[in-house]
Amino acid sequence: MFSPTSSKMLPKILGADVELGNFIVGRESGEWGTGPQAAEALLEEISGISNRRLAYHPQDWGRRYLPDNGSCAYIDLGHLEICLPETRSAFDFLACWQAMLRIARRALDTANDKLTDGQRIHVLVNNSDGLGHSYGSHLSVLLQRETWERLLHRRLHYLLYLASFQSSSIVYAGQGKVGSEGGAAPVQYQISQRADFMETMVGPQTTYQRPMVNTRDEPLGTTGARLHNIFYDSNLCHVATVLKAGVLQIVLAMLEEDWVSCDLLLEDPVEALTRWSRDPTLQARATTITGSSLTAVEHQLLFLEEARSFVEHHPLETVVPRAAEILGLWESTLVQLEAKDYPSLRSRLDWVLKLSILQASLRNHPELDWNSPEIKHLDQMYASLDREDGLYWCSERRGDIEVLVTEADIERFVHEPPEDTRAWTRAMLLRTSAETIDDVDWHYVRFANPDGSYWRVPLDDPAGSTRHDTESFFRSGLSFDQLLRALDARQEFPITSINYYGGTT
């Protein structure tokens, strides 16, 4: 165990960029299927402000930022990708995630109304089509830059600690899926949709040989570093979503304070992930570097014990809001998992809820088995965004889901940004003189001037530029130029040409 040195934790600001499965039924499929056409039709129905200078790129096309809540949407390789505004709390993260799904659903409904008879767009909030293709649900967390360097470049046991934690965390963060993909051995049902696609422990890539810990270094500001996590499934259950985000916040805070127990390191996190994912009975075991043989739940219980001790010695409210509630949810969920209390877990965890739905269907239709197309269809329909067709939403309407945020909380984030991150100021700027916005990104908004120069408003700190910081500027009746100066805007001039000696003219 490494003892803490000095308090250097940054607020564990959360973000996410999530690809959705989309296609059109009733339309002839082209070379790339109907996914790109579906994504374009969906994005067309999401109002936002685009970067006017962004060239076409298949992994980032049509990006637009939403003035309502400071979020973003674009097309990535034929998928509609929705990006959450930055949040401090895992509970706000849940509400913003559900809000973005509401925005995508409204776009789906409007786009379908415009299609000809016999055609219909479907959207799936999942990470695997069952045919060997996986798409991401990327979770971003703010880290201190020094911690990021230690984690990925200097202290390999930190890397192994994070990868080991992620391996067993699927017991509450998996969505579940029927069968296997990517040449893996056959299995009836497994816990994690991404497990078959995690092939190595570390690397910068996201679309091949996917790593459990991604090294992409895109800080999106000058404060800290952004850990870009590509490991997790998309969740719909409230408890699963909060645990996925909130427990990761706590574990990364532990890493920032050098609170690392080497007893929890797995010999092979990738192999452990595969083994644990393929056993929904939760009996499979993996080996730690000290020789202990643990189930995934036992492994998580040891992490919980470490986290409780850590929180007792470190006040976390400004770093991980509502940390005590997250710990309580984590513990009660693990206790239920240890007891195999699946009836109680149905309301909390996607993979358990989906498994119970599929098992009920198999009981009611003895002619079916796990290889039947009907069962594979139900697997996909669990995560349908359509409120009538989606099996998750049917369960929610019946009151079968443990709800952690209200519909009012969700609807608020459809129309308003989080108030305690830079998302608030971004949204306000997007609503101000929108016709002069020339360029926008997570960490700045740039406005064009008639003389060809620009005003660039920096949003470098994800935890800064909050409503408390900047609201008075927007409400005080300042002229547009005065507002920009109050926000520390910097005037920039276009480069007209570059000579061979590196100068500009």
The whole-angstrom separation of Cα 498 and Cα 503 is: 6
Residues identified as active-site: 76
| Helix H or strand E encompassing 280 | none
Q: Where are the alpha helices (DSSP H) in 114-237?
A: 145-149, 156-173
Q: What is the pLDDT of residue 7?
A: 61
Residue 322, SS3 per DSSP: coil
The whole-angstrom separation of Cα 88 and Cα 274 is: 32
Q: Which tokens in the block code for residue 395?
A: 């369960």
Residues 6+ positions from 487 with CB-CB distance below 8 Å: 425, 429, 457, 465, 470, 473
Closest CA to 166 of 264, 59, 53: 264
Longest distance between any two alpha carbons in the chain, whole Å: 77
By DSSP bridging, strand 210-214 and strand 198-203 are parallel
Closest CA to 385 of 170, 71, 123, 206: 123
CA distances from 191 to 175, 187, 275, 284 (A): 6, 11, 10, 12
User: Residue 330: what residue type?
Assistant: W
Q: Residue 395, Cβ neighbours under 10 Å: how many?
A: 20
Q: What is the pLDDT of residue 2?
A: 37
Q: What is the pLDDT of residue 497?
A: 47
User: Residue 227: what residue type?
Assistant: L
Average pLDDT for consecutive 10-residue bins of the chain (505 residues)?
A: 56 98 92 91 95 68 95 95 98 98 98 94 96 94 96 95 98 98 94 96 93 94 94 98 98 97 98 98 98 98 98 94 98 98 98 98 98 97 96 97 98 98 98 92 94 94 98 94 95 66 39
Q: What is the pLDDT of residue 494?
A: 82
CA distances from 244 to 241, 349, 426, 440 (A): 5, 11, 26, 29
Residues 6+ positions from 49 with CB-CB distance below 8 Å: 64, 65, 67, 430, 434, 437, 440
82 forms beta bridges with 18, 73
